[in-house]
Amino acid sequence: MRLVRVQTEPFDIHAEQEALCRDNPRVGALVTFVGLMRDLNAGMGVVRMTLEHYPGMTEKALGALVAEASERWTLEGVRLVHRVGTLEPLDPIVFVGVASRHRGEAFRACEFLIDSLKTRAPFWKKEVTEAGERWVEARATDEEAARRW
């Protein structure tokens, strides 16, 4: 089972996890990653952030990443949920969940997905900081992480 969703509303982390292994006794490993909004970025306090995307293109890019992970590793399921819109500190932004028969494949696929979506999915972030609004640029560390794969 593969699922990709882009949404404005919060997601239920437990429900997303449970859906990955429900009624599938082949699942021996479930690895998840949840990204949260921080209140600090580049040394400056952040009050809120707006995530924008290109509808249709974003889902297609995320779907391609999920398909690539499914080709590289033997997976029982993948769920990738990404929020857009206005977010505040501690709001969950992204859920990446991978179910497989063995932990090694689940860990690698989950890490591949989060590293890759940071550089290959069309999202744009604007932060509201103590000094005003600013667009967030891509980080060199994200590019380095994505190149490993």
Task: Provide the pLDDT for residue 147.
Answer: 84
Q: 83 lies in which domain range? A: 2-147
> Can you list the residues of the chain whose pLDDT is less than 70?
none
Q: Quote the CA–CA distance of 42 and 141 in Å, as a whole number.
A: 13
The whole-angstrom separation of Cα 3 and Cα 43 is 35
Structural domains in the chain (count)? 1
| Residue 144 confidence (pLDDT) | 84
The CA-CA-CA angle for residues 147, 62, 103, to 5°, reads: 70
Q: What pLDDT does 92 receive? A: 97
Task: State pLDDT tens for residues 97-138.
Answer: 999 999 999 999 999 999 999 899 999 999 999 889 999 887
Q: How far apart are CA 23 and CA 51, in angstroms?
A: 34
Q: According to the model, what pLDDT value does residue 12 have? A: 97
> Could you tell me if 113 and 96 are in contact, meaning their C-beta atoms sit under 8 angstroms apart?
yes
142: CATH: 3.90.1170.40
At 111 the pLDDT is: 97
